[in-house]
Amino acid sequence: MQRCPSCNSTALVQNAARGDTICASCGEVVEENTLVAELAFASGPGGKKSLAGTAQQFLNLGRPGFLGQISPHSEASVQKGLTRLNQLCEHMHLNIHVREAGRRMYQLAWQMNFIAGRPKTLVAAACLYTICRRNKSPHLMIDFSDALRVPVVKIGRTYLRLMRRLTGGGPR
């Protein structure tokens, strides 16, 4: 069984379409650019054979050397959320490791279409709270609530939904 090199967790999310494996606990990219070595052929009208499959779209999230093509609107939306995440980290004096893991988890949430229809600040807070919780940091959900000046219930609801989406169950 494969484990995360950062947190030793076995809760890994594998996406064959994107060719990556990401840790659901800390957001670390365990594998990326994985290629599948199999071909599939389909029979078309008149017995014509053709290669089956779909074109994949690679994401460009500001990482140097990473191939990608996404709409400028989507990238701007992600960048705005990451900016809010950074502001929250600065306000709460979170260390760089929590910030980077939170950024990876936010990007994972975006790739899984979790952010659609939710306030970016709540998703950012849920991602950072998850990382703080996994690292046994003394930061509580109410600290994030105070920093954002939103009810703790809103952050808690977003956190629980994020955990369900990432792991298929509730928090551990």
Mean of pLDDT values over 155-167: 92
At residue 58, the pLDDT reads: 43
Contacts of 131 (CB under 8 A, 6+ apart): 26, 27, 98, 101, 102, 105, 137
pTM over 0.85: no
Mean of pLDDT values over 54-74: 47
> Comparing 65 with 4, which gets the higher pLDDT?
4
pLDDT above 60 (res 167): yes
pLDDT above 80 (res 72): no
> Comparing 21 with 58, which gets the higher pLDDT?
21
Burial readout 84-119 (b: 16 or more C-beta within 10 A, e: otherwise): bbeebbeebebeeebbebbbbbbbbbbbeebbeebe
At residue 16, the pLDDT reads: 67
Quick: pLDDT tens for 47-63.
Answer: 777 666 554 444 444 44
Distance, CA of 96 to CA of 15 (rounded, Å) = 27
Share in percent of the chain as helix, strand, coil (round to 5):
45, 10, 45
Quick: pLDDT tens for 31-49.
Answer: 766 555 455 667 777 777 7
- CA of residue 104 relative to chain centroid, distance: 6
Distance, CA of 83 to CA of 79 (rounded, Å) = 6
Quick: pLDDT tens for 121-159.
Answer: 999 999 999 999 999 999 999 999 999 999 999 999 999
